[in-house]
Amino acid sequence: MPLGQFLFEYLYRCGVRHSFGVPGDFVLPTFAWLEKSKIQSVTMTHEPGAGFAADAYSRINGIGLVCVTYCVGGLNVLNAIAGAYAEKSPVVVVSGAPGRKDREKDPLLHHKVKTFETQRRVYDEVTVATTVLLDEQRAASEIVRCVEACVRHKRPVYIEVPHDMVDREIPTTIVATGVAEESDPHTFKAALDETLALIRAARKPVILAGVELARYRTAGLVVRMAERMNIPIAADLLSKSAIPENHRLYIGVYGGAMSSDEYVRKYVESADLVLMLGTFITDMSMGFYTAKLDRRRTVLATTERVSVQYHRYESILFRDFLFALASAKIPPKPFKHPNPHAVPIPLRKSERRDRLMIADVFRIVSLHLDERCCVVADVGDAIFGAVGIRSARQAQFIAPAYYMSMGFAVPASIGVAMAAKKLRPYVLVGDGAFQMTGVEISTIVRLGLNPIILILNNDGYGTMRKISNGSFNVITRWNYGKICELVGGGKTATVSTKGELDNALSRARNAREVHVIEIKIPRNNVSVQLARIGREVAKIRGWKKGSV
């Protein structure tokens, strides 16, 4: 069949239902095949937004797709794909490219940077597999190889399609398939025996649930294990909501100084065994090195390795290890929840006229969330302040909590809405991040989507001010109340008191169109978590004073 037909039929078979992108001349023939396929093409306003949307889509759907043109598109979306790689989001990048004839005698062709291989070589650094489809005989197997790698490793792959190849007939009868992996039985037994011995001996164990539980759909195994052994569960910032936050064993987000509450930090750091399952060890998840976890009291199990105290075990499949832990017969541990009353307190009539502070924002937002909502947080207090958001029922949470790229949330809400029609995105975004990608509201209106976008307006780059203040943190003040008028759809509101925010959210919840709520926050008011992090980063960077 034609290469383009095979490409999108195979991606559809693998679970892709939507593609995000921006057209360009080299990719137009590929877009023509995409339009003929069962995959819905979503045209965004800018390639970074397309990448962020595909990233968020893949986190819910299990695989995402972004389609762009050569270099000016492919290199424009690169930052978003780098973030997807860092945070293990399985995104397939399909890029148009010059044809085989275009490459003869190496001419200076528009969009070309250095050589015709430049873009692919750049993508080698942010993907787990790349290919340029210049050979009809190998095209199908190369597509399958890359997509299988994407699904297996939960990281992006890059497929470059020359414009004069996409219509060519390719053989599809012989297609390479991945070989099933198995755990090494001896290594597996040694790691499991040592881990179970530690669990049996522990009097106060805790599970630190990591992001890989969400990516590999294994959270259920860990919850089952926790329930059988009566072990409490904490999450890190990147894995927030991987475990249902209304579960009786869930205690909150742990990240050193960035923990959702001080009691969470104390509980985790005083545990005699911390089972870190699917957890990334990063400066962000460890609260910029403020986390205090003794390696002698930890087990770290990821898709890459299992480390038990000071022993490192290779060749163990993550799912096998989790299944064995969940099946182990260990008597329940004694556990008393350190703070079982985590449901947010409703607003009192006497406080409705009070000026909004950042902590109030997250409390009030929590009152409006249920299992049909998905919180999509951008960088800064949109993430740090949101660590404590917990509703009476489960609310999903998506954020660039390790790579920390500003501008993620607004376009990501499009990916969330397309991946899960029943989820309504609640976007938390600072005024600085909104000015980067907020133009995607026009895409939201065009598609008839209805996210609730909350702009945390503290007049500039508030996070940076807490690290090092200066004129470089100043941005232009927009009239955010006019944004929906500009794009021709949706409703806006500007709020500065607790009651105004509560009323605006109530109106938005009952509406079927996008709502943009500008929340005016005092310029120097930040969450406790951000204040702590600002001090720690300033200290690490050698600055004596953070903000002024």
Q: What phi and psi values does residue 257 have, to the nearest 5 degrees? A: -65, -15
Strands 91-97 and 130-132: unpaired
Pairwise CA distance, residues 40 & 415, whole Å = 12
Give residue 548's pLDDT: 35
Q: Provide the mean pLDDT of the chain.
A: 90
Share of the chain above pLDDT 90, in %: 71
In the chain, the amino acid numbered 297 is R
Give residue 501's pLDDT: 97
Q: What phi and psi values does residue 328 have, to the nearest 5 degrees? A: -65, 145
Distances (CA, A) of 51 to 90, 93, 298: 12, 9, 36
pTM: 0.91
Give residue 338's pLDDT: 87
Nearest to 414 by CA among 401, 406, 424: 424
Give residue 543's pLDDT: 64
The domains of the chain, with CATH numbers, are 3-162 (3.40.50.970), 185-327 (3.40.50.1220), 349-541 (3.40.50.970)
- The total number of residues shown for the chain amounts to 548
Pairwise CA distance, residues 427 & 295, whole Å = 37
Give residue 176's pLDDT: 57
Alpha helices by DSSP H, 261-308? 262-270
Distances (CA, A) of 530 to 208, 235, 287, 467: 22, 18, 10, 10
Give residue 488's pLDDT: 94
Q: What is the mean pLDDT of each run of 10 residues along the chain (548 residues)?
A: 97 98 96 97 97 97 97 96 97 94 77 87 98 95 96 97 96 71 93 96 95 92 95 91 88 85 90 94 70 89 93 94 95 90 82 93 91 92 84 76 92 97 94 94 97 91 72 85 93 96 95 95 82 73 54
SS (H, E, C) 133-202: CCCHHHHHHHHHHHHHHHHHHCCCEEEEEECCCCCCECCCCCCCCCCCCCCCHHHHHHHHHHHHHHHHHC
Pairwise CA distance, residues 50 & 65, whole Å = 9
Asked whether the beta carbons of 454 and 515 are under 8 A apart, the reply is no
The sign of the CA dihedral 391, 392, 396, 401 is positive
Strands 130-132 and 491-495: unpaired
Per DSSP, the three-state class of 67 is strand
Give residue 491's pLDDT: 95
Give residue 546's pLDDT: 45
Those residues whose C-beta lies under 8 Å from the C-beta of residue 325, and which sit 6 or more positions away, are 192, 195, 196, 199, 221, 225
Both tokens assigned to 548: 């002024």
